[in-house]
Amino acid sequence: MKINDLEIRDGLKEEIINFRRYLHQNPELSNFEFNTTKVLKEELEKLGLEIVERKNKTGIVGIFKNPNNSENCKTILIRADIDALPMEELTNCPYKSQTKNVMHSCGHDEHTAALLGAIKIILDNKDKINGNIKFLFQHSEELGSGAKEWVDEGVLSNPNVDAVLGYHVMPIPEGKIGIKENEMCAASTVFEILIKGVGGHGAYPHKNINPIFIGTDIIQKVPGMIINKFDALDSLVINFCTFNGGTKDNIVPESVRLSGTIRSLKNSVGKKAVEMLEKLSKNIAEIYGGEATVNILANIPAVENDSSLNKVIEISTKNILGEDSVIFLQNASMGSEDFGHLKQENIEGAYFYIGYYNEDKKYTISNHNPQFDFDDSILFPLSLVTVETVINYFNRGDK
């Protein structure tokens, strides 16, 4: 059959849905997506794509070379994440997770299946593709580390990538594509603070330096001290999420550990906030006679969309799904997305949402919930929109 001049092989919708359900039944945690990687490798090899692997590691890239062999053609990278989350699935769907305490509750199974479907459409329409495409099936998005590892290993070169495209299933109306200008997702810094005091008996506080007091003071004072140095419009969030230390009710511990997150829509704001966190934490610890060391565990850039590529997504979506298929989002998310590592300064990029929210079908549960699910009829349209966007990106006349 044909859809908007695209040749579509028989049974492709069912192939995409079945692959998504296989992934959903067999989820794997970040950095342990070995079976997922193996299955994807088999699929990409059957399709005849060039493959880039990571020895003894997860994730994989398929490369489509421009069949028209035109010189100086552009290269676009499309990314789908493949990892799942550590939680027990509580849905009653027939394709429920078969792995205890692991679930695709963020929709990465959908992202992966839709991209594989897009690859098959592209290969059946080679004559319409006027550039190179890298298909990145990325590991460890949930840890915020996968995209950076691929960048460090050269995924944006050979050939050099000119644009990056990504997407995520989100609770906007089912089947709609959500587009956001400029900032889309927040920058995120995950930090820990190691506080060292002097331990001893709880009955003699004058002989100790209690790191619990230091940690409590940092938690109570530092966020406000930092936030009050920024404009309220800078959208800055500082949150402490763990406080670990101590072994018994009458023993002052030698040390405690705090951890948390700093979120901001501007990378520069987040960087300044981290610098202030380190300085203030050390100062407070010194007042008590203790020490504080701030370590950065993950640093994820903000996702900032380019209006030029957003326009291509908008036009492509309307071509495939109709004039009312696009939602223009007004608010950015304070959630983070390591897609930001792929969107380098000299690379055009855009990240969009595909909606699953449908009250009539009772698909209303948000991502990262053990009851999360959606109607996988949204997969095929996502594949089509992805392909149409790639074709229009190469044909827009700025090669």
Number of helices (H), then strands (E), in the chain: 8, 18
Please state, rounded to an integer, the average pLDDT across all residues of the chain: 96
pLDDT by residue (tens digit) across 38-71? 999 999 999 999 999 999 999 999 999 988 776 7
Contact 320, 381 (CB under 8 A): yes
Contact 16, 380 (CB under 8 A): yes
Domains annotated for the chain, with CATH where assigned, are 2-185+303-394 (3.40.630.10), 187-300 (3.30.70.360)
Chain centroid to Cα 365, Å, comes to: 19
Contact 6, 117 (CB under 8 A): no
How much is the pLDDT for 345? 85
pLDDT average, residue stretch 98-106: 98
pLDDT average, residue stretch 249-254: 97
pLDDT by residue (tens digit) across 175-209? 999 999 999 999 999 999 999 999 999 999 999 99
How much is the pLDDT for 399? 44
How much is the pLDDT for 72? 78
User: What percentage of the chain carries pLDDT values higher than 70?
Assistant: 99
How much is the pLDDT for 397? 61
User: What percentage of the chain carries pLDDT values higher than 90?
Assistant: 95
Is pTM beyond 0.75? Reply is yes
Q: CA-to-CA distance for 195 and 215, rounded, in angstroms? A: 7
pLDDT by residue (tens digit) across 302-360? 999 999 999 999 999 999 999 999 999 999 999 999 999 999 889 999 999 999 999 99
pLDDT average, residue stretch 147-162: 96
Q: CA-to-CA distance for 192 and 134, rounded, in angstroms? A: 36
Q: In what order do the strands lie in the sheet with 75-81?
A: 50-53, 60-64, 132-138, 75-81, 163-173, 348-357, 177-179, 326-328
How much is the pLDDT for 92? 94
> Could you count the other beta carbons within 10 Å of the beta carbon of residue 29?
17
Q: Provide φ and ψ at 315, rounded to 5°.
A: -60, -45
Strands 163-173 vs 348-357: parallel, antiparallel or unpaired: parallel
Task: Name the nearest CA neighbour of 117 among 384, 397, 389.
Answer: 384
Contact 121, 387 (CB under 8 A): yes
Helix (H, G, I), strand (E, B) or coil at 378: helix
Paired with 262 in beta bridges are 189, 238
pLDDT by residue (tens digit) across 9-39? 999 999 999 999 999 999 999 999 999 999 9
**pLDDT greater at residue 71 or residue 145:** 145
Q: CA-to-CA distance for 43 and 115, rounded, in angstroms? A: 12
> Could you count the other beta carbons within 10 Å of the beta carbon of residue 269?
20
